[in-house]
Chain A
Amino acid sequence: MSITLDHVSYVYSQGSAFERPALTDICLTIEDGEFVALVGHTGCGKSTLVQHLNGLLRPSSGRVIVDGEDINAEHADRRQLRQKVGLVFQYPEYQLFEETVAKDIAFGPRNQGLDPDEIDRRVRLAMEMVHLDYQKYAERSPFELSGGQMRRVAIAGVLAMQPKVLVLDEPAAGLDPRGRDRILGMIKEMHETRGVTIVMVSHSMDDIASLATRLIVMRRGTIAATGTPREMFQQTALMEEAGLGVPACARLCHALREKGIDIPADLYTQEEMVAAILSRWKEGGHHAE
């Protein structure tokens, strides 16, 4: 199942004195099974873009095509669409409302009209996926959990709908390193073992480096560049122009090469970097200074 954006533009408060263009002429295809990272400076329109993917915002012009169908057409089935494309908002913990964790997670499946047994099965599965113990948490109030736990409950609420494409808007924002690793690990697992297509908005280049198969760089409402992380992280200048950095390892790699140390130019993960430096060091041992 692929998602295509065909010349999509979006203007906030169109026709009023507060008119504000947020997206201009976006063309983009997300293929089945990809892990796409959407990056860009704050206010460049990432959140606006992801809300188009499941029809929460209608483009001011252009079309959004999911699975071969224009989702904003007259006869389009919104409910079906939201079942296919699950969207986790920025700070999703603020959308919890039920008395218990299990009930809150069941909200989505219940709206899908599933029968109680299936709902229960999905709630358990979703909680397992976000590593929340059913026995311990199902009957707790979501409001007495920690921030990171609340966020996992909220994500489980979307996972329980079993979407084929999972869109996450800064899922790790404001979490401590451990909470962040948990969430990211969980997303990685979803992608690798369940084959869910992932679109993730993120500010952390280091997170993206280890996860994404493709990077989309946005700048002021347009797509500035797209490519694999390896391709993108070599273009330090372009990334910086978009108000972004590159992962710490890519920076280190760049700096070492400028000093005349001969390592490959396209390193960006920690493992690669360590391996390259080690092998250089061993070679250096032979030449003996």
Chain B
Amino acid sequence: MLNNITLGQYYPVDSPVHRLDPRVKILLAIAMIVCVFLVGNLLGYGLILVFVLFAARLAHVPFRVLMKGLKPLRFILILTFLLNLFFTVGEPLWSLGFIHITREGLRQSIHYSLRLIFLVVSTSLLTLTTSPIQLSDGMELLLSPLKIIHFPAHELAMMMSIALRFIPTLLEETDKIMKAQMARGADFESGNLLNRAKAMIPLLVPLFVSAFRRASDLAMAMEARCYHGGENRTRLRVLKLKKGDLYACLLMALLIIAVIVEARLVPGGLIL
């Protein structure tokens, strides 16, 4: 049934990385993505790998958990690799009948696959170490300069936090209603597609009823406490930059410089 559902990917341990300011972490993740695109050759990826492993180690996130984010992408990865390998024109390395593998093809397929892997892993590192609520807080603050052009940063973040807040509640509720109907002999697991769809009615109706009830209760409770978005709101958790944030930024700057310098010094085609 619905056991073992954890919200997002958040890996709840305490570590220096978890304690970083979410704004900083979001920016660092973006920097990391840029960095991945700056890499020119395998040595560059090596640098990034070292950085990622170091960060994961510091965050107490096991390698296995870090790699879990790649699992849903395995087909895309394989496809990217194969398409680039077989369909890039250039200097042939090896051919069998109509299949040609070129130097450029090999280079590109390795390049793109690694790029994809590091993109996923570095964003995973963000979502693994930052709770969804912190993420939406960070997003709001980062987007708040856009309020000048009437971009509803606060409202968006509020909707996101509320949605996130209620996902576990709804899951719990689903589990409860499912069990209650199973106690009355409902069967959610067998039968053909039509029967199964029909079997969902006793689950969905109470779920919707309660979701709407909750939504209206919440809206009422917020109104009753004079909630109005945006302007002049203070926050419960005030985000403050700390020393750790500075060190993290310095490390990232170091990585970017290293990657750029390396790409200059070692010409693209040299290592592979």
CA distance A192 to B187 in the complex (A): 32
Given A13-B3, A17-B13, 14 additional A-B pairs, CB 8 A? A18-B12, A56-B179, A82-B185, A89-B179, A94-B173, A94-B176, A94-B210, A95-B202, A95-B206, A96-B206, A108-B184, A111-B185, A112-B185, A143-B209
Question: Do A82 and B4 touch (CB < 8 A)?
Answer: no
Q: Which residues of B contact A137 (CB under 8 A)?
A: none
Within 8 A of A (CB), among B166-185: 173, 176-177, 179-185
Chain A residues bordering chain B, tally (CB within 8 A): 29
Give the nearest-CB partner of B208 in chain A: A97
Give the nearest-CB partner of A108 in chain B: B184
Contact of B183 among A16, A87, A94, A96 (CB under 8 A): A87
Question: Do B182 and A161 touch (CB < 8 A)?
Answer: no
Contact of B181 among A18, A95, A112 (CB under 8 A): A95
A284 within 8 A of B: no
Question: Do B205 and A82 touch (CB < 8 A)?
Answer: no
B186 within 8 A of A: yes
A15 within 8 A of B: yes
Contact of B180 among A15, A92, A143 (CB under 8 A): A92
Question: Do A16 and B4 touch (CB < 8 A)?
Answer: yes
Q: Which residues of A contact B180 (CB under 8 A)?
A: 87, 89, 92, 95
Which of A56, A92, A95, A111: most chain B Cβ within 10 A?
Answer: A95
B residues adjacent to A (C-beta < 8 A): 3-4, 6, 11-13, 173, 176-177, 179-187, 201-202, 205-206, 209-210
**How far does the Cβ of A273 sit from chain B's closest Cβ, in whole Å?**
38
Evaluate whether A89 and B201 lie within 8 angstroms (CB atoms) in the complex, with A97-B206, A143-B209 already known.
no
CA distance A206 to B209 in the complex (A): 34
CA distance A18 to B187 in the complex (A): 28
Q: Which residues of A contact B186 (CB under 8 A)?
A: 107, 111
Contact of A54 among B4, B181, B183, B209 (CB under 8 A): B183
Evaluate whether A161 and B184 lie within 8 angstroms (CB atoms) in the complex, with A13-B3, A16-B6 already known.
yes
CA distance A95 to B3 in the complex (A): 20
A158 within 8 A of B: yes
